[in-house]
Chains A and B, each alone.
Chain A
Amino acid sequence: MTKMERAGRYPVEFNLNGEPVDGFASPRMLLSDFLRHEIGATGTHVGCEHGVCGVCTVKVDGKAVRSCLMFAVQAEGAEIETIEGMAEADGSFSALQEAFHQNFALQCGYCTPGVLMSLSEFLGRNPDPTEDEVKVALSGNICRCTGYHEIVQAAMDAAKAIREGAA
C-alpha cells in the first residue's frame, strides 16, 4: 500500500448510484466533503462530524455508513448509494419516500437523507419489522423536528408496501 502525502491530492473513483464518478481528494478529505463539494452530490448532509447524529449516512457496498467517519480515498472502487439515487427511474418516489410524504415524516428535511439511507438498509435486512425494531434501527439518526413518531409510521407503511409490491 502506498503511503499518501498529507499535502498530496489523489484520484478517487467509485460508482455513485450506479454511475461512475471521479475526483481528487487529499488523504484527510472526508467522504462527506468529497461527495458534497467535489462531486456536487449535496443531497447527503453533514450534522456533527463526530459520527453521532447519522445525518451523513450513505450506503457503501450495501452497508449504511457515516460518510463523515470515512475518508474519500477509502471509498476507491466502492459502490456508493445516496439519497439522489433513491427515487424510481421515472423520477417518482420510491415506496419509502412515498411513505414519508404521506405520513408527514419530515419537516426541515435536513436529517431525512440519512434517515432514509439507514431505513433502506434496515428494511433490506428486515422486511417485516416491529415498531420497536424500527425505533432501534433509527437510534443512530437524530431528528429534532418530527419527534420520530411519523418516521416510525412511515417506515412501517413502507415495509408493508415493499412486501406487498414484492409479493
Chain B
Amino acid sequence: MPQFAVPEHAEEGKFVGRRITRVENITLLKGKGQFVDDLPTKKGTAEVAILRSPHAHAEVVSIDYSDALALPGVFAVITGEDMLAETDPMIVGFENPIDYRGVALDKVRYVGEPVAVIAARDRYTAEDAMDLVKVEYKVLKPVIDPVEAAKPEAPLIHTKGDSNCVSRRTFTHGEPDDAFAAAKRTNEITIRYPRNSITPMETYAVIAEHMEETGGFDVTSNFQGPFSVHTVMAMALRIRTSALRHHSPTNSGGSFGSKLTIFPYVVVMCVLARKAGRPVKWIEDRLEHLSSANSAPNRVTRIEAAYDDDGIVSALRMEHWDDHGAYLRAPMPAPIYRMHGVSTNGYDIRHLEVVNNIMITNKCPTGAVRGFGGPQLYFAVERMMQVIATELGIDPLEMLRRNLIKAEQFPYKAIAGALIDSGDYHRTVDETVDQGGLEELKKRRDAARAEGKLYGIGYAACVEPSQSNMGYISTLKTGLERERAGPKDGAVATVTVSVDALGSVNVIGDSVPQGQGHQTTLSQIVADELGLRPHDVVVTLDTDTAKDGWSIAAGNYSCRFAPASCSAAHEAAVKVRTKMARIAATTLNVGVDEIEFTKGKIHAKSNPDNAVPFYRVGGLAHWSPSSLPDEMDPGLRETSHWNAPELTPTTANDEINTSLAYGFGFDFCGVEIDPKTGQVRVDKYVSAHDCGTILNPGLAEGQIRGSYVAAIGATLMEEFKYNEEDGSFLSGTFAEYLVPTAPEVPELTLIHPTPNPSPYTRLGAKGIAEGNQYTTPVCMANAVADALGRKDVSTPLTPSKVFEWLHDTEMQPKGATPPAPAKGKGQAIEGVGETLVPASPQEVWNILLDPEKMANVIPGCHELTEVGSNAYEAVVTLGVGPVKGKFDAKINLTDLDEPKSVTLSGTAQGTLGSSSGSGSVTLEAADGGTRVSYTYEVHLSGKVAAVGGRMVRGAARHLIDRFFKALVRQAGGEDDGGGGKRGLFRRGGS
C-alpha cells in the first residue's frame, strides 16, 4: 500500500502524521453506532410521512385531509397553510422574490415538493393516511432548462418577481476587454454540467419536540452545518436562537454536503410537533432523498479565452447560468461564489470577467455536494485549456505547464482575490508524470491507435480550496449593499480541551463528523501536545447547541476540518499545555521554558528525573486552587475560538479570498472507447494531491479514494434526470440513479507528491476530500475528447451518449429514414399494435361505448361512470414494479366514427403520481371478426415516473395486453384462463 510522505514535523514519538487506526471503528464495526434512527425516542413519539407533489409546476387548488386525520392513529397533518400562519420565510443572503417555507404554499414548483406532512403512531399508518389526502392541482407549464428559464417567455416560477433569474452580477478583474482586444487568438466553448449529488447511505433524519418552557424546540438531526443556518431556522420559527436546541448524534451516515439542506425539514417538523402535541420523528426514504433532498446546481457556462500562439492565456470570460431549482435554501447560491476567488484555477491569468446568473427552474432545490461549485467551474476551465492546446497543436500537458502559477509566486494573489497560500505546481506535475508512468501510457495509446482503437489521454489540474471564508457569499451583493449590511469575513472554529481531576483528557468540538475520522485525528493532535497517547484522549463530537462552544462556521463542509478544527484543537491543547507547564514549573522548581511533556510525565528538559506525573498536575488544578501560581484560574478547561486573519471581507472591487488554504491536484488518464457499445473503459487513472501536512495517512488516503469513486460516478453514471417537457423526475431509485459499485471502479494509481504545508493553518494541513470531484470528470472528458477528436463533450459519459457521438453521422445507413423523434424528448411511453377480436366491428364498438362493459375491460377498474357525453370517470388500481396505487381517471372519447375509429384521451391522478395519455383505435372487419389496431402515447409524472423508469414500458405493454384480452373475452371470445386466445395477439411494440 502506498504511504504518504511523512511531514517534517512528525518527529519521533509524535502521533500526527502516523497511520493510527480509527477509534470510531470500535462501535461501528459491531453495529453499535449512534445514528439518529438508532437513538431511543420518548414514548409517544409520532412518525412522519410526507405527501409530495407529482407535478413540476402546478397551482394547489385545494387540499382536503379530513379523511387522513380521521384514520385511527393519525395525530396531526400540516400543510402550507400552517407554515404560512406559524413561520416566516427561510431567508437567504440577498433579497429575492422567493417565499420558501418548506411546504408548498400556493403552488408546487418541483416534483417531490412537500404538500402535506402527517404525524401518526408509526410510519406505516402515516403512509396509509397519505393516500387519503385529496389534493387538486391545476397543472402549469414548467421550465427545466436554466437558459430557457432566463427567456422572457418562460413560465415565471415565483410570481412576486419578474424573472426566473433572481440574481445577475458581472465581475471584472483586471482589464479583460483590453486583453481580449489585444489577444492574437480567442476561442469559446459552452459547457453543460449536469445535475448530480453524492447520495449518503443514511438519509435525512429529524426528531423534533416543542419545549413549552422556552417556547422553542429540541431537535436531534443529522444536520451537518454550517451553523449559520441555525439562525435561519430559528428566525423562520419566530423564536430566539437560544430556544432552538439542536443535537447532532455521534454518528452520521455520510453526507458529502447533502445533509446541509435538511434544515427546512427541521423547521417543518418543529411546526408539526407543536401541532401534534408530541415529539415527531421523520426518517426520509430513498425516493424522497433522490427526488427532493438535494442536488449540486447544474450549470451552463459559456467560456471564452484570449491567448497567444504559444498558448499563454491572458484572459478568461465566463458567463454562468447556475441552476438552483425551485427555491434557494441558505447558503445557496454559495457554490458558485465559493469558487469565485479561484475562477482562474491554478493558472497565472491576470484578466477575468465573470457573469453569474442565478436561475430558478422547476427542479429540486440545490444544496451542498462535495466539490461545491468546483466541478462545474473547472470542467469549463480545463476543457478550455485542452481545446486551445488542440487548436494550437501543443501537447495539453505542456499547455498546462506554461500557464500554471510558478513556485516562486506563492503566496499568490489570484486576480479574483484568492490568496493561494503555498504550492509547487510544476514539481507536483513532474512527480505525478514520472511516478504515474505517463510515457508508458503514451506508448500504450500509440499502440492502441495503430490498431485502429479509439484511445485518448486526458489531463486536469485543480486548486483545492479548504475552509471557507464566511464572507464570500456577500460577493453576490454590490459593494454598496455590502457596506450597508456590515462586514462579513473569517471562519471561527471551536474546540475545547479539558483535563479532569485525575488527569484524564477530554476534547469536544464543532466539526460534526460524518465518517472522516475526526475523533481519531483530534486525539492524535492533542496527545502530541500533552505528551500522551491518542487513546488517552477521549474525543466526543456529538453536538448540543445549548452547551457546546460553536459559532456560525461550525460544521462539516468545504474541507473545513483539517485547516480549521485541527488548528483550533492544536491551539486549545497548547493553552492547556501552557497552563499545566506553569503549574509544573512551580512544583519542579524550574523555569516554564524548561518544561516538557513526555509519555504521561511533565519534566524538566535538562533533567528528566525531575518529573511529576501528568495526572498530578491535572489534580492540583482541581483539588488545590490555592497551590496554583498567582492569578491563575482554577480548573483545566481551555476553549479555542480559532480564526485566520487571512480570511478578509470582499473588497470594494469584488475580490475575495474565498478560502484559507489551497491544495493542488493533478490527474491524467488513458481511456479506450468501445465503438460497438460506446462504453468508456478506463485504461489507467493517475491522481496526485498536495494537501500540505498529512495528519493521518490512512484517513487521508480514504478521503482521496472516496472522492475518486464519487467522481467516477459523476463522470460515467450519475445524473438526476427530468423530462424536459413536463418536468417529471426520472431517477427515483438506485436502479435509475446509478452509482458505482465495487466491480465498476477503475483502479486508481495514487501518487503522493512532496507536500507544501500551508503557512496559514497551525499544522500546515489543507483539505483533501474534494480533489477528485474537481479533476476526474474533466480529466476523463478531456481523454474522451482526445479519443474522438471532439470538442463538445459532457458528463455523464454514459455508453448511450458516447455511442451517439460516435455514430451520429457515419452510422446512419444510406437512404434510411431516421426514426421520428418521440414527443416529450423520448420519455413518453408509446406503442402501436393490433389484435383480432371475434366479434363484428359494430359489436366491438358497442362494448367500447358501454360504461358497464368497459369497466370489465379496463385493467384494475373498480368503477366507471359516465359523466357527460362520451366522458367517463373511473377508479383504477394499477401497479408498476414495487409500487401499486389507486388512480382517479378521466377519459374522453373524441373523433367518433362509428364503427370505424375513435380517439381516447385522458388523465389519471393518484398518490403514485399522475399521467396523461391518448390513443386511437381503428376497427376493421377481418377473418370473420374485427381487427383492432391501436396507437398510444402516455406521459407519467410523480412517483411512478421516478421509480418505474425501467419498468413502465413493459408494464404499459402488459396493461394494453390485458385490455385487449379482456376485450376479446367481453366480445365472447374464449377465455384461456389468462384471457384471450393465444396466437391471435401480436404484442404492441413501444
Contacts and interface: CB of A to CB of B under 8 A. Distances in A.
Contacts of A28: 124
A87 B702 CA distance: 24
B517 A50 contact: no
A144 B198 contact: yes
Contacts of A126: none
Interface stretch (A72-80, A148-156, A159-167): A148-156
Nearest to B26: A101
A153 B201 contact: no
Chain A contact residues: helix, strand, loop or mixed: loop
Interface stretch (B386-394, B736-744, B906-914): B736-744
Contacts of B170: none
B706 A84 contact: no
A93 B29 contact: yes
Contacts of A151: 742
A144 B743 contact: no
User: Interface residues of B toward A: which range?
Assistant: 35 or more
Nearest to B708: A147
B28 A112 contact: yes
B735 A106 contact: no
The number of chain A residues touching the other chain, given as a range, is: 35 or more
B286 A49 contact: yes
Nearest to B698: A104
A44 interface: yes
B698 A148 contact: no
A129 interface: no
Interface string B374-395: 0000000000000000000000
B805 interface: no
Contacts of A46: 37
Contact of B947 (A45, A50, A112, A141): A50
Contacts of B38: 36, 42
Contacts of A86: 30-31
B35 A110 contact: yes
Contacts of B256: 144
A144 B201 contact: yes
A41 to B, nearest CB: 8
Nearest to A153: B1
Interface string B504-548: 000000000011110000000000000000000000000000000
A166 to B, nearest CB: 22
Given A49-B286, A107-B517, A146 B29 contact: no
Contact of B733 (A52, A84, A107, A141): A52
B597 to A, nearest CB: 29
Nearest to A48: B286
A113 B31 contact: yes
Contacts of B706: 107, 144-147
B517 A87 contact: no
A132 interface: yes
B586 interface: no
Interface in A119-139: 132, 134-136, 138-139
B947 to A, nearest CB: 7
B937 interface: no
B698 A108 contact: no
B200 A144 contact: yes
A53 B285 CA distance: 13
Contacts of B698: 104
A140 B702 CA distance: 21
Given A50-B286, A101-B29, A152-B742, A45 B705 contact: no
A142 B734 contact: yes
Contact of A143 (B29, B201, B707): B201
A111 B699 contact: no
B734 A48 contact: yes
B705 A109 contact: no
Interface stretch (B211-219, B247-255, B636-644): B247-255
B201 A149 contact: no
A42 B32 CA distance: 8
A103 to B, nearest CB: 8
A139 B740 CA distance: 9
Contact of A150 (B199, B515, B702, B739): B702
B882 interface: yes
Contacts of A132: 743
Nearest to B283: A46
B251 A109 contact: yes
B199 to A, nearest CB: 7
A112 B254 contact: no
Interface stretch (B17-25, B491-499, B658-666, B828-836): B17-25
A100 B31 CA distance: 13
Contacts of B251: 108-110
B745 interface: yes
7 contacts: A97-B30, A100-B29, A101-B29, A104-B701, A110-B515, A113-B31, A145-B702
Interface of A: 26, 28-29, 36, 41-50, 52-53, 55, 82-84, 86-87, 93, 97, 100-102, 104, 106-113, 116, 132, 134-136, 138-153
Interface of B: 1, 21-22, 24-25, 28-33, 35, 37-38, 124, 198-203, 251-254, 256, 285-287, 514-517, 698-699, 701-702, 705-710, 733-735, 739-743, 745, 748, 882, 947
Nearest first, the 8 A-B pairs at minimum CB distance are A43-B31, A108-B515, A110-B253, A109-B28, A147-B709, A83-B31, A107-B515, A147-B705
